[in-house]
Amino acid sequence: MASGDSPYARRPRYELLETVGRAFEANFKVITDADYRCIDHFIDFITRLRLKAGFALQDVQQAFELYRDVVLPMVCAESGRENLYPVLVPLNRCLAYTIFRFSDRFQELHEKQLVDLAAQLKAEVEVRTSELRESEMNYKTLVEEIQDGYMAIHDGRVVYANKAFCRMHGYAMEDVLHQPFVRFIVNEDRGKFDGIQAYGEEPHHEGLILEYMRLTQDEKCFPTEITIKNTRFQNRCSTIGLCRDITQRVKMEKRVRDAERMATIGRITASLSHEIRNPLSAIKLNLQILKKNNMLQGNDQRRIDISVGEVNRLENILNELLDFAKPMSLKRQPCDLNSLISRCIELLEINCREKRLIVHLNLDDRITEVVLDPEKIQQAVINLLLNAIEASPEDGTIKLSTLFRPERPVPEVVIGVRDYGKGVHADIAEAIFEPFYTTRSQGTGLGLTNVKRVAAAHGGSVDIDRRISRGTAFYLILPARGNHGKNTHY
């Protein structure tokens, strides 16, 4: 009944027997009793069955025609000539009714099936679209809320940047997009990015990490770490990067290296100082004995005095070296900072008078008591003043000031010392705080180093103002622990 390529050939035999049997019974009811209920039930049954199985309309129509071809000879054989017409007319009418009604029902259910499928697909698309939109929003929220800068590059230009990237570089979003990425890198570090296929070519770098100095809108430079990965963005081969400010990490690494180097220098210095101090003491003692010899007169006596003076200078240098080698320990106590600053000027009055220098004091009267080590702070301020005195021309001016800054996250006091000499060249502005670095023929190079150590021991810092065009200005910045007007900090 079914050819090999017919869909009926793939159906189980029991199903075909059932459907043919039900069709015969329904047709018999129509022919004998004119009862169309059974044929209507059969049409609905066979329509749903064949739609579910994926049959085409024409396949089922052909099956009905095949049923007609099989039944008609059987009816003719069983009926006499005189009874043939009365039998064939209702049978043909029943078969026609079945085919037409089935075709309409099949089309109706098929259309409904298509409508339901379209509605189902639409609902699934809406769900997937909503999920995709939510996922995209979550991703954008994540990217926008992270503290690290995130950007995407096409052909060397920034096509996407999050708020953190803009904030790190000091630009508004519209001033970042479509700009060359190298605009945000100092000239010296741009070569680090030459070998990266970041300009639309096929990716070959995965998770490359580089350190460079980023350039902000106000021309400042900060150490930055970037993780670069080539991927697809906006349906293009692109480069994405995650930028992280590593200023604090670099400072910490430098402090660790400095501490290790200082510890080594300290051990060497202490050893040498002890080895030198003993013979130096013997030399000084013998010079003092020779000085009492009345046989020495004139230039000889003067030579002894010069030698004693030089030995004293060497002892002072040794004391500086030993102080440098010792761990910094503080004896904190409440101290009137402004009075301490005034005493420093009094101690160096003779030094100022020799060069006819005028010292201008500008002391912040909001500062009363500050908890610190007065001896160490006095030593630091005197070191700064001695540098200023030496750098100042004769008849020059030195400015000495204090300032209370309560608006800072940790309120602080600032001691400022400024001279109007030749100033410090930008190339050595950082080096002057290194141990034994000096530009003077008579210096040890430990003065500013000790100032820095005193500031660090108090939890503060020392800085040099690079903005002034003439002279040098140092600022000793200390946490404001103590009483300042109505503010109390401990």
Q: Where are the domains of the chain?
A: 7-121, 146-245, 251-325, 333-489
pLDDT band, very low/low/confident/very high, at 441 (cuts 50, 70, 90): low
pLDDT of residue 222: 93
pLDDT of residue 199: 42
CA dihedral 120, 124, 129, 130 (to 10 degrees): 100
Judge residue 74's burial from the number of C-beta atoms within 10 Å of its C-beta, 0-12 exposed, 13-18 middle, 19 or more buried: exposed
Give CA separation, 182 vs 215, 231, 315, in Å: 9, 19, 55
pLDDT of residue 425: 67
442-459: average pLDDT: 79
| For the chain, percent of residues with pLDDT exceeding 90 | 14
CATH number corresponding to 333-489:
3.30.565.10
pLDDT band, very low/low/confident/very high, at 478 (cuts 50, 70, 90): very high
Greater confidence (268 vs 459) lies with 459
With 80 as the cut, is the pLDDT of residue 394 above it? yes
Say if strands 358-362 and 397-405 run parallel, antiparallel, or are unpaired.
Answer: parallel
| CATH 3.50.50.60 given to domain 146-245 | no
Task: Tell which residue, 72, 106, 65, has the closest CA to residue 90.
Answer: 72
Nearest-angstrom CA–CA distance, 361 and 404: 15
pLDDT band, very low/low/confident/very high, at 377 (cuts 50, 70, 90): very high
pLDDT of residue 275: 79
With 80 as the cut, is the pLDDT of residue 426 above it? no
pLDDT of residue 484: 47
Each residue's pLDDT tens digit, 4-63 = 567 777 788 888 888 888 888 888 888 788 888 888 898 888 888 888 888 887 877 777
pLDDT band, very low/low/confident/very high, at 436 (cuts 50, 70, 90): low
Give the Cβ contact number of residue 77 at 10 Å.
7
With 70 as the cut, is the pLDDT of residue 201 above it? no
CA distance from start to end of the chain: 103
Greater confidence (253 vs 238) lies with 253
pLDDT of residue 400: 92
Highest average pLDDT, of 71-80, 158-167, 462-471, comes from: 158-167
Nearest-angstrom CA–CA distance, 56 and 467: 88
pLDDT of residue 485: 38
Burial letters 120-134, b for 16+ CB under 10 A, else e: eeeeeeeeeeeeeee
pLDDT of residue 486: 37
CA dihedral 183, 187, 189, 191 (to 10 degrees): 90
With 80 as the cut, is the pLDDT of residue 327 above it? no
71-85: average pLDDT: 73
Give CA separation, 360 vs 164, 276, 324, 364, 417, in Å: 45, 41, 31, 13, 10
233-248: average pLDDT: 83
Each residue's pLDDT tens digit, 126-152 = 888 887 777 666 666 666 677 888 888
Highest average pLDDT, of 92-101, 225-234, 403-412, 429-438, comes from: 403-412
Indicate the range of 23-32, 230-239, 365-374, 426-435 predicted with least confidence: 426-435
Give CA separation, 130 vs 124, 137, 187, 350, 454, in Å: 10, 10, 46, 82, 61
pLDDT of residue 10: 79
142-165: average pLDDT: 83
Give the Cβ contact number of residue 454 at 10 Å.
25
pLDDT band, very low/low/confident/very high, at 424 (cuts 50, 70, 90): confident
Task: Tell which residue, 187, 182, 176, has the closest CA to residue 226.
Answer: 182
With 70 as the cut, is the pLDDT of residue 393 above it? yes
With 70 as the cut, is the pLDDT of residue 200 above it? no
Each residue's pLDDT tens digit, 88-125 = 777 778 888 888 888 888 888 888 888 888 888 888 88
Indicate the range of 66-80, 110-124, 242-256, 276-290 predicted with least confidence: 66-80
Each residue's pLDDT tens digit, 276-318 = 877 888 888 888 888 777 777 777 778 888 888 888 878 777 7
Residue whose pair of structure tokens reads 């030198």 in the numeric block: 276
Give the Cβ contact number of residue 435 at 10 Å.
20
Residue whose pair of structure tokens reads 């002890």 in the numeric block: 274
- This prediction's pTM: 0.47
With 90 as the cut, is the pLDDT of residue 224 above it? yes
With 90 as the cut, is the pLDDT of residue 414 above it? yes
449-463: average pLDDT: 87
pLDDT band, very low/low/confident/very high, at 198 (cuts 50, 70, 90): very low
Supply the mean pLDDT for the chain: 81
pLDDT of residue 489: 34
With 70 as the cut, is the pLDDT of residue 159 above it? yes
